Structure 1
């Protein structure tokens, strides 16, 4: 089952709009101070990116929050994701489609989401880069899928950010399981 939550046009509009949001799942501007605002969950999850030109790149998610995720990749992958390299600003932050295979207690599901690159940091000791992304305009079904994945994957860890980010309560999330 594939959950498509954002077309390219919707993702582009969400990236440009950047209005203040009622929930952390909604699109909004992020500053350097915002990058560590939410609790991070350590992961090892494959992700595939596709840009508007159809080019693809693959990496591994290192950690995730209710607002986005961070990957660790080689410089070639970082170059494919952000071909302009250099300093990121509002005019050159690429919008991409990110696809994950989420396997929780139910059958694995593919989640495809619109994301925007927030930062790119080269790693000093090895030829690696850290890239941070934020989710753009997640639909309610995608919010529930992510909340369920994290509650299943990280049962002993506090994942309140994932549940609070959804406009539904945890009991309603469980009763409306995808």
Structure 2
């Protein structure tokens, strides 16, 4: 594992903690962490930003359908959540070569990771899921099971340099 990948992974953990525990109160630190991730993500930026756009669109749909609501946030896509999506997109792009090749395995990974991330957000009080937490986690898990293979295909399409093309 190279230093840039390790840096992106560590910075994402910091980004996630700032978004979940600090939300609007830690925006400056989260923005700086995100800028550092972008700096480390040479070759992964375009794919990472495309994945971030998918994540923001998915969360926007979940918010609109009232499956997801964010604690203390009057807006549909608060800045701390958008920064978290940029960080996640860059992290997923950075790890793309370590992800399963099989679309089914990738769907399983996406479904489990997606559901777990939101479940932890509920447990830490950063968000609520409806109509119940369990049903919200299932909806999100199914959504990410569909989106993870799409993200891999998208990354392969928009980041040919990272794939040696």
TM-score scaled to structure 2, two decimals?
Answer: 0.29
Q: Relative contact order (C-alpha < 8 Å, sep 6+): which is higher?
A: 2
Which structure features the higher share of strand residues? 1
User: Which of the pair is proportionally richer in helix?
Assistant: 2
Q: TM-score, normalised by structure 1?
A: 0.28
